[in-house]
Structure 1
């Protein structure tokens, strides 16, 4: 069980290789630091507000720590901002356009790119994802009220949800409440590409 949990945590990190330092980690470092200071919060105060350890925050602000998407969600909530506010390039003119790789798997064809974010009841995000053969992304549950909408562009996507496996062929889609653990999997031999909208 412990090995499975470690794998899930690794898979939900921005990058699986801690030696790589993508631009999104630099954006996150700069944004967390600036937003924390704008809110007049110490690292200790933000750690308490977000439920993320101060040690983790120090690593994130230095740009040296690979962080999970769920941890970024908690930090965003602690700062009263959105996930997109943490990963976008600072000083971008178009605030809805993000276009950053926010997750990458070990296979070179596996990545999740946050394309855009716009206000909904609380927030909406548009992602472009690809998964190489045998790759999977294990998601942690979102808070109540969040939904995932997925549209498959290429290949066949397998969605694991509530102990069930659902195959979505190219041109197909599925909408579901994301307040439970779920996984996106490529069980085939060719790349899978899909559009993912996350809405609250």
Structure 2
């Protein structure tokens, strides 16, 4: 029950999801190989550092192994990278949109999706928000290195950041952005919007 998806599995996601999401093993094999090579480690060396078997390392790098989230945590620690760096698509310049299915249980309703990450120096605040139809919330610029992480549960949220195009975030989708410029949350729809907001600084 603690395993992430096998790289050849194709998850069936419900209609609330805006799009099919890949599982994290789609990128782990290549990332582990590349990171291990950068650090000059053999498969045996990485296995020893991560306290796993060489067979497990070989299976991960060939895309043939099921692997637990805790094993990926140990690999990330041994390679001196974050978990998100280990599992993100290699073409992504940062971790702001990983959007990969990380765990699936026996029930089709049981799943965990890693949406994205940002670095935190001090604290992270977790909020639930709702805006009625036509309501908006303007915010002043935050300090450097502050981030907003939003996930829309119902309705659609429009996010406007000074100097950037407005973003309409629909139910089941998310947005992560740096909040060092003035920004606005707006409900330009006819129904209320509910969303989860993380403020990270």
Instruction: Please give the TM-score of this superposition, normalised by the length of structure 2.
Output: 0.52
Q: Aligned-pair distance for 1:121?
A: 4.6
CA contact (8 A) 2:30 2:61 kept: yes
Larger radius of gyration between Structure 1 and Structure 2? 2
Change (3 A) 1:63 1:123: farther
Q: Aligned-pair distance for 1:93?
A: 3.1
RMSD: 3.4
Q: Aligned-pair distance for 1:31?
A: 0.6
Give matches, 1:1-200, under 5 Å. Answer: 11-15=1-5, 20=9, 23-121=23-121
Q: Distance in 1 between matches of 2:80 and 2:74?
A: 10
Q: 3-state SS of the aligned residue for 2:117?
A: strand
Specify every segment of 5 or more residues in structure 2 that has no aligned partner in the other structure, as ranges. Answer: 11-21, 127-152, 155-195
Q: Distance in 1 between matches of 2:93 and 2:7?
A: 31
Greater strand percent: which structure?
1
Q: Distance in 1 between matches of 2:99 and 2:69?
A: 16
Q: Aligned-pair distance for 1:67?
A: 0.5
Q: Aligned-pair distance for 1:12?
A: 1.2
Q: Distance in 2 between matches of 1:112 and 1:78?
A: 24
Instruction: Please give the TM-score of this superposition, normalised by the length of structure 1.
Output: 0.52
* Count of residue pairs the alignment pairs up: 122
Q: Distance in 2 between matches of 1:36 and 1:123?
A: 32
Q: Distance in 1 between matches of 2:122 and 2:107?
A: 33
Which has the higher relative contact order, 1 or 2, with Cα contacts under 8 A spaced 6 or more apart?
A: 2
Specify every segment of 5 or more residues in structure 1 that has no aligned partner in the other structure, as ranges. Answer: 1-10, 127-152, 155-194
Greater helix percent: which structure?
1
Change (3 A) 1:18 1:99: closer
